[in-house]
Amino acid sequence: MGFIEYRTSSDAAIQCELLLDDLHGPTREFDITDVGRRRRFVRCLYGLLMLQIAMIIPCLEICIHYAHILIELPLRLAYFVFIILLYTWLYIYRDWRRRAPFNYLIYLLTSIAMPISTSIHLIYIDQTRWLHAYPLMIIVELLVLVLYTTQQRFKFSHAIGVLIIYSVYGLILLSVYIFFIQGFFRILYFYKVTFEAWYIIYDTRQMLCGDHGYNLQPDEYIYAAANIHADLPKFLWLHAYPLMIIIELIVLVLYTTQQRIKFSHAIGILIILLVYGLIVLLSYFIYVNCFFRMLSFYGVTFEAWYIIYDTHLMLCGVHGYNLQPDEHMYAAGNIHADLPKFLWIIIGHFVLGPVRGFIKALRHSRTNYIC
């Protein structure tokens, strides 16, 4: 379903029908219109996810035993790339896995892949039995969300979902501080559980509101459980804007490692546009919807260009900083501090410049005789 225009922003409900609310304004229509069946769907979905998350515990035991092998960066990076490619494939080619027995097979596949990827990530943080608290905390958060959906008196909005997640996390922290103070900082370090639980409720809303185009039916919770993982690459693509700037800057850094070819303004712009073009081309082959999203992120080229432009101004003494070779931290702060002056230059050229030219032409019109 598409967006319905509304005048005031409102908190988007996850499991509640708010098609035309006088208080909050119109919002999206859900694929499953009945509230009771929709909440039952979510309970089944979160139950299946809790089973998958519980598989992390035995997987952690194996990974802790072979931590000296799995902690190696190339192996972790290779598995991360494999997972992203697998989930991207599942997201693009979705219809065949909608029905039995393929929905069960894909659920089993994600039940193996997700615990392995999470365990490989966790053993890099810690290699003790305290790691078992990580999946248990996510399970408790989802369990409380499931219990909340058993009632229909109160709406299940995004804000309420986040409030429940952080309340559960805070209570767990408080309990550990009271009874097991030596593990308090370990649990505090597992704050990422709140983001994982938030992603689950966020993607639940995306699926039920038709953002992914699944058109879910009330009995397709096994299909939806696999979609939670398959939707992850698209979620990561949404955060591609800062990553694209980082990639552009990394390529510029690599270019400065050589001194044979000059680093002119034109070459810097050429590198930025080439990197942006390659990223857009890659997104086209991965998923065509991501292509148009990446294309709309053309602003990354301007941000990267401003960085090389201001670098030139600082090193040439235009700002009067008189930089020394070891003052890179000072220069990093100056990139932001110079932004107002840069904006004033833009305003002066493109806004005030034509106005000043027009006023000057009017003044000269009093003395310039036609004949």
pLDDT of residue 189: 77
pLDDT of residue 238: 63
Encode pLDDT of 11-61 as tens digits: 444 444 433 344 444 455 677 778 888 888 889 999 999 999 999 999 988
b/e map 81-101, b = 16+ CB within 10 Å:
eebeebbbebbeebeebbeee
Most confident of 186-190, 235-239, 251-255: 251-255
- Which tokens in the block code for residue 167? 């309340």
Grade residue 365 by pLDDT with cuts at 50, 70 and 90.
Answer: low
Q: What is the mean pLDDT of residues 254-263?
A: 87
pLDDT of residue 163: 92
Mean pLDDT across the chain: 80
Amino acid at 197: A
- Greater confidence (352 vs 57) lies with 57
Q: Say if residues 196 and 161 touch (Cβ distance below 8 Å).
A: no
Q: What is the largest CA-CA distance in the chain?
A: 97
- Which tokens in the block code for residue 208? 């039920």
Instruction: Give the number of other CB atoms < 10 A from CB of residue 212.
Output: 18
pLDDT at 167 over 90: yes
pLDDT of residue 66: 83
Encode pLDDT of 110-157 as tens digits: 999 989 988 888 887 777 777 888 899 999 999 999 999 998 888 888
pLDDT at 281 over 70: yes
Can you tell me the distance from the alpha carbon of 215 to that of 223, in angstroms, rounded to the nearest whole number? 11
pLDDT of residue 22: 43
pLDDT at 353 over 80: no
By mean pLDDT, which of 53-67, 68-82, 83-97, 189-203 is the weakest?
68-82
The domain locations on the chain are 33-237, 240-335, 338-371
Helix (H/G/I), strand (E/B), else coil: 157 = strand
- CA distances to 246, 294, 340, 353 from 269, rounded to whole Å, are 15, 18, 22, 25
- CA distances to 251, 301, 323, 326, 342 from 306, rounded to whole Å, are 16, 9, 19, 22, 9
